[in-house]
Amino acid sequence: MDCFVRFLRKRKKVLLFSPVLVLVALYGPLSVRYIEGLIPMEKCQLPPGSQLRPGNHVDNSLDLWSRTDVQTCTYWRAPVIWDGMFNPQHYDEVYRRQNVTVALSVFAVGRYLDIYLEKFLSSAEQHFMVGQRVIYYVFTDDPDRVPQVKLSAGRSVTVIKVLRHSRWQDVSMLRMKTIADTIDSLIRHQAQYVFCLDVDQEFVGRFGTEALGDLVALFHSYYYHRPNFFYPLDHNPKSAAYVEQGDMYYHAAVFGGTWQQVKTLTQSCYLAIMQDKNNQVEALWHDESHLNKYFWLHKPTKVLSPEYCWASAIGYRSDIHVVRLVWAEKQYSFVRQ
**Other residues' Cβ atoms within 10 Å of the Cβ of residue 316:** 8
Within 8 A by CB and 6+ apart from 54, the residues are none
Q: Which of 42, 210, 282, 288 is catalytic?
A: 288
Residue 110 CA neighbour count, 13 Å, CB half: 15
**Helix (H, G, I), strand (E, B), or coil: what is residue 309?**
coil
Does the annotation mark 125 as catalytic?
Answer: no
Alpha helices in the chain (DSSP H): 2-15, 18-27, 88-97, 111-112, 118-127, 168-185, 259-278, 287-297, 332-335
Q: How far apart are CA 24 and CA 46, in angstroms?
A: 32
Within 8 A by CB and 6+ apart from 132, the residues are 92, 95, 96, 100, 101, 102, 154, 208, 209
Q: How far apart are CA 249 and CA 117, in angstroms?
A: 27
Residue 251 near residue 287 (C-beta atoms within 8 A): no
CA 98 to chain centroid, in Å, comes to: 24
Length of the chain: 337
**At residue 274, what is the residue type?**
M
Q: Which of 91, 89, 85 is nearest to 68 (CA)?
A: 85
**Helix (H, G, I), strand (E, B), or coil: what is residue 259?**
helix
At residue 111, φ and ψ (nearest 5 deg) are -75, -15
The residues assigned a catalytic role are 288
